[in-house]
Amino acid sequence: MTTTSTPLDTLGRPMRDLRISVTDRCNFRCVYCMPKEVYGADHAFLPRAQILDFEEIERIVGVAVGLGVRKVRLTGGEPLVRRNLERLVEMLAAIEGIEDLTLTTNASLLAPKARILADAGLQRVTVSLDALDDPTFQRMNDVGFPVSRVLDGIAAAEAVGLGPIKVNTVVRRGLNEHAIVDLARHFRGSGTVVRFIEYMDVGSTNGWRLDDVVPAAEVVACIDERWPLEPVAEAYRGEVAQRYRYRDGSGEIGVISSVTQPFCGDCTRARLSADGSIYTCLFATVGHDLRASLRAGATDEDLADMLRAIWTRRDDRYSDLRTLETVALPKVEMSFIGG
């Protein structure tokens, strides 16, 4: 790891978090991310040769840590469909300076992998779960996958210490707003934190409409009516979720309000796509190719210079500025760069 000064973007934001999409493939077809009508049987996913190998990811992460990255999250697609992912976890866990090494997963493959991942050095998991009743959950994932197997994955992760576990729930009006109270009730007192996410206009294929957004304030009010809540101060700069704890001490929830209460001003996240491009915003229209330079023999110093140049030019404020014109821009799909 080459240690250099921490670059700041044009708004004074450091690069602290790196989210790595290890694959553009997923075994779910969630309606807000990879709708089946777009990602059907004939969809052309990235060929293997275009995807970064583990050694290439390790090099980029090492350089990014030298520039100040402290949190690394593996995403997809569904990261657990990438074979031998535990080997990458082990490689990244050995990089000095990473304080938080985590994984976001739909948990469909987590139960048999939890122990292996924990032994390799993974610290935490975040699980996507949009409802607790099978009819709603299967309507969301659109492949008939049952809730029980996701809960099995969560239980397996808890058993091997991959916690505290967070559950991410995307709330879309007309589909699963009734699941808010069910999820809060199920995980109250368990140590697992449910984070309710406003339905976002990521990419161009999920049919986003503002009318489908359930505002975070509505989510909080819905839960507070049953189990009184009080706000919790943010734990660090750039924390995505607004946190609330139950007044009776039964844990907490979070809400992620990218649409109604944007938090661009404190965003410290960069995203590395499966094919080796850096994106400086979840709503980006273009990325910055690192793979070509890597494969052309770039040194770690060269890569550091590239990352520094990309970050210091960064001025992304998409959610702060969201307009009818920006919503219509052809943005990168969430399945390509992770959430």
Residue 339 has pLDDT above 80, yes or no: no
Lowest mean pLDDT, pick from 35-44, 64-73, 129-138, 300-309: 35-44
**Tokens found for residue 170:** 């995307």
Residue 291: band (very low, low, confident or very high) from pLDDT cuts 50, 70, 90: very high
Chain centroid to Cα 137, Å, comes to 19
Asked whether residue 179 is assigned to any structural domain, the reply reads: no
How would you label 184-193 residue by residue, b for 16+ Cβ within 10 Å and e otherwise?
bebbbeeebb
The mean per-residue pLDDT over the stretch 122-136 comes to 97
- Please write the tens of the pLDDT for every residue from 55-79: 999 999 999 999 999 999 999 999 9
Number of structural domains, the chain? Answer: 1
Asked whether residue 215 is assigned to any structural domain, the reply reads: no
Asked whether residue 187 is assigned to any structural domain, the reply reads: no
Give the Cβ contact number of residue 324 at 10 Å. 7
Asked whether residue 261 is assigned to any structural domain, the reply reads: no
Asked whether residue 200 is assigned to any structural domain, the reply reads: no
Per the prediction, the chain carries an average pLDDT of 90
User: What pLDDT, on the 0 to 100 scale, is given for residue 284?
Assistant: 78
Asked whether residue 279 is assigned to any structural domain, the reply reads: yes
Sign of CA dihedral 253, 257, 261, 267: positive
User: What pLDDT, on the 0 to 100 scale, is given for residue 332?
Assistant: 59
User: What pLDDT, on the 0 to 100 scale, is given for residue 109?
Assistant: 98
Residue 156 CB-half CA count within 13 A: 19
Asked whether residue 33 is assigned to any structural domain, the reply reads: yes
What CATH number did the domain enclosing 156 receive? 3.20.20.70
Lowest mean pLDDT, pick from 4-18, 200-214, 235-249, 289-303: 200-214
Lowest mean pLDDT, pick from 46-60, 98-112, 261-275: 261-275
User: What pLDDT, on the 0 to 100 scale, is given for residue 204?
Assistant: 56
User: What pLDDT, on the 0 to 100 scale, is given for residue 187?
Assistant: 97
Q: Domain of 48? A: 17-164+266-337
Asked whether residue 212 is assigned to any structural domain, the reply reads: no
Instruction: Return the higher-pLDDT residue of 336 and 83.
Output: 83
